[in-house]
Structure 1
């Protein structure tokens, strides 16, 4: 998506504790080169207080890949699986139709391999079965397997994301607010509205989580424990895993330490999902590890681990399996180090503002429960404002006596027409030039094949040659009488054919 000046819109998309897609930030960039992406990522690190992302999902843009390797050396970079498979489908259309079972075997090899070794063995077996060792696109997919195959990323937390679907969804939302005719000023205004709408949805879900208690699916104590800990949407995901335990059978391989979990086969179960998992238990620490690696990838206990935990009578979620970002208290963590918010920090005021916002959310929630609490909260706020006003006035007066008289700065006024007016001088900010970006060009109407056929050239009825008609024929004698009936009839026939 681009704006009025063809500047690509580069959003940073993530997921909050309610599984809602959210904007972390965005940028309008001049082009899509590696240097531009490197600048964007370096600026992003500054905005994030120097923290690098743990994982990132993008498309297969080589310039972006190069920039990520340079700026985010410790970040796990993954290519969108959906984009890779969509391109593969364009190359494998003939194979899907001629090689019976190839499509299902390919999907099973990609999605059901629990380890790197298992995937590589399954891939080679598939090539042998269908005699596809010489297929060029399969070779390409094999060479870049470490960039998109799920087995290579099961040990990394991706919040259960393997595609850029959330980014595509947020782009669709952004197109409601922004379009190719949006100026930079309007872009800022519209993006603020968009983020405000995002905050409202998150606040509503926060309220629903605190105000309403989800129903239980079973009498299992671990489900009650999960309801107490997780937000509504995360608890719904937990219930899905808990329900799935009924579709597995358990075999104890080694007492109190090793278990085999297999799917209960029935007619509605696809062969693709008839997998076997190994769950390892370490007592008394209550460490439970499954070969599916769902906890490492998603941050939630899988159905296989829950099956074993119920068998060995663990009825509460161990603290080391509670990911704070999925809990009701995810937003209550505030900076504990006062030096991070000291006046010497470049981002000190924003950090102080963030910490107070989190505390005020709890204050408002408690103060709105009943009339007495509301009256007390209002009294505390009034007294607090008076106290803070006195502190700030005293602090400002002390600073004024210490600091030297400062030089007055020019007053700057920015108008919607991008004019910057100064008292001392005037500077005009012009519109940026049009960007030459990648991606799709100006959309054109789809033409069916019948419209794309070669047009038959015109034939002149005067000389019989092609490429012109009787009106432009050079062999017509200039002295043709204007009242010649035969010539007028031929002109009329030519007009009828052209219309």
Structure 2
């Protein structure tokens, strides 16, 4: 739940305290947070008496009650003015009896804050919630007028009301032609069970939301409706690769709607789901630095064979052959571990979707039309942060041309890779032809001692064909240090056509 300011939140909680029957007090305040608590919070103070062995309680009624709310202040871009306040933590359980007599309730100090202004606030909220569906459809209509590419879809019941029909709910909004990742977050909004977000990476390497849907359940039919609506919007046969969480209904729906799309599991979501169990392992083997070793095994192997080898080494080293969590992760390795689909292009999105949704200031009490407005604002705000013209600090002609073609964040990544490329030595491949090279790191990693440190690069300058066995370009369409090292030695001054990937350019779709 959100409020315009701290005072409004204080009035709201004070009214709740009056209705329930407990005294409220302001507790402490920080720059980003404010606490409102039951006045029974804290230990009763004590005072000394003449006998040093006896301590006497005062008349305080404090019971160490923990009930209260923690408010988070949302600031403007300048971090100076509070533009919104959100309930960040809510604890409702009291450890004392509530006031029962109206006379006692009337004496509560917090009641003095509930002037007619509070009733005006309640009235505004009720008015905003009224005719929610009508306001939602009106908003969609206005969006379509302003932007012909805007798309929305919903389902109606027999009474022509937006509702859950056969368990399938109703709202889908898409705002882009690209569809890469689908994220489901449960218990997000009122009677809707899922907020499904179509998420990918824009040409600034930022996590971008291309659309969202509110769904009523996790059945195959629900997901199928959702994906069909997205297909209608984009007019395409779907992305090459789609990452989802482990919902069992999603793969079935994907095969029906997008039969040519490769389905894989989102590593971030799966790890997050297993995190309580992984944390136990991290704590048990903290001195052996199990966490670092485990994460390197998950992310860094280049081939399935390398993963299988180092995974077995890990199980032997820590004697974890019977660990259920690791068994479950291993069973889904082909859909989860990047080493198994290095050959498939898959943009990397590392930002938490929960964090993005929170930044839209919506919760389970937000009316649907306000929810749609706030989420659409979120989509637009991401686009407003795109970088300006890329600045370069080099005279190397190849870098100059890369800077002209790619966006600033991609150029920054390129410059970083160019720097690391200087740590590699390159020699002719004695077992290969005239276009075959071997690129080797001059320093082996102490953390990934099992990792490959020598890579074969094919570089045909005349044909403009380049390939590295690490497959980074094929997987992310970002330059690997091995090919860049070959570019440096061969003095390549023109970007090969195949290395201009439109997803990372400043060209607007």
- Normalization by structure 1: what TM-score? 0.58
Is the contact between residue 13 and residue 166 of structure 1 (CA under 8 Å) also seen in structure 2?
Answer: no
SS in 2 for 1:2: strand
Deviations 1:53-88 (A, max 9, x none): 222222222222332233222212222212333454
Q: Of residues 40, 45, 48 in structure 1, which corresponds to 2:226?
A: 40
Higher relative contact order (CA 8 A, sep 6+): 1
Match of 2:482 in 1: 304
Once the two structures are overlaid, the 10-residue window that deviates more, 264-273 or 149-158, is 264-273
Q: Offset at 1:155? A: 1.2
8 Å CA contact retained: 2:242, 2:262: yes
> Of 264, 267, 292, which residue of structure 1 is paired with 2:470?
292
How many Å separate the matches in 1 of 2:370 and 2:487? 55
Cα distance change on mapping 1:166 and 1:112 into 2, 3 Å = same
List per-residue Cα deviations over 1:250-279 (Å, max 9, x = no partner): 232245322222222289986577733221
Distance 1:38 1:243, change over 3 A: same
Matched, 1:167 2:353: yes
* Whole-angstrom CA distance in 2 between matches of 1:170 and 1:153: 27
Higher helix fraction (1 or 2): 1
Q: Could you say if the C-alpha distance between residues 139 and 34 of structure 1 is closer, same or farther in structure 2, counting changes exceeding 3 Å?
A: same
In structure 1, the partner of 2:424 is 248
Q: Write the distance in 1 (CA, Å) between the matches of 2:223 and 2:437.
A: 47
**1:291 Cα deviation after fit:** 2.0
Partner SS, residue 208 of structure 2: strand
Structure 2 gaps, min length 5? 1-186
Question: Post-superposition shift, 1:315?
Answer: 2.1
For the residue of structure 2 that corresponds to 1:122, the secondary structure is helix
Of 224, 230, 238, 2:414 maps to 238
Distance 1:62 1:35 in 2: 12
Kindly state the Cα deviation for residue 186 of structure 1 after the two structures are TM-superposed.
2.2
SS in 1 for 2:321: coil
Alignment of structure 1 residues 354-369 onto 2, 5 Å? none
**Which residue of structure 1 aligns with residue 373 of structure 2?**
189
Matched, 1:215 2:215: no
Deviation digits for residues 108-145 of structure 1, max 9, x if unmatched?
Answer: 33222111122122223333444433333322222111
Q: Is the 8 A contact 1:4 1:183 kept in 2?
A: no
Structure with higher strand content: 2
Give the Cα–Cα distance (whole angstroms) in 2 for the partners of residues 101 and 119 of structure 1. 19
The offset of 1:319, in angstroms, is 0.8
Partners of 1:307 and 1:116 in 2: how far apart? 26
> 1:328 aligned to 2:492?
no
Partner SS, residue 327 of structure 2 = helix
**3-state secondary structure, aligned to 2:456:** strand
Distance 1:27 1:295 in 2: 32
Task: Work out the CA distance in 2 between the residues paired with 1:19 and 1:101.
Answer: 31
Compute the displacement of 1:89 (Å): 4.8
Change (3 A) 1:30 1:269: closer
Answer yes or no: is the 8 Å Cα contact 2:210–2:379 preserved in 1: no
2:68 alignment counterpart: none
Change (3 A) 1:151 1:214: same
Q: Which 5+ residue runs of structure 1 have no aligned equivalent? A: 332-499
The 3 A distance-change label for structure 1 pair 131 and 8 is closer
Checking the alignment, whether the CA contact within 8 Å between 1:263 and 1:274 is kept in structure 2 is: no
Structure 2 residue 241 is matched with structure 1 residue 55: yes
Distance apart, 1:105 and its partner CA: 3.8
Report matched runs for 1:22-421 at 5 Å. 22-93=208-279, 95-96=281-282, 100=288, 102-161=290-349, 165=351, 167-174=353-360, 176=361, 178-202=362-386, 205=387, 208-209=388-389, 213-216=390-393, 218-254=394-430, 256-265=434-443, 271=449, 275-331=453-509
Q: How many residues are aligned here?
A: 319
Measured in 2, the distance between the counterparts of 1:94 and 1:6 equals: 33
1:472-491 CA-to-partner distances (Å, cap 9, x unmatched) read xxxxxxxxxxxxxxxxxxxx
Q: Per-residue deviation at 1:11?
A: 1.7
Cα distance in 2, alignment partners of residues 8 and 35 from structure 1: 14
Give the Å deviation of 1:317.
Answer: 1.3
SS at match of 1:60: coil
> Secondary structure at the residue paired with 2:189?
coil
Which moved further from structure 2: 2-11 or 84-93? 84-93
SS at 1:284 equivalent: coil
1:3-22 equivalences in 2 (<5 Å): 3-22=189-208
Note if contact 2:342-2:472 (Cα within 8 Å) is conserved in structure 1: yes
CA distance in 2, matches of 1:256, 1:43: 52
Alpha-carbon contact 1:21-1:170 (below 8 Å) kept: no
Normalization by structure 2: what TM-score?
0.57
Residues 128/326 of structure 1: CA separation in 2 closer, same or farther (3 Å cut):
same
Decide which structure has the larger Cα Rg and report it. Answer: 1
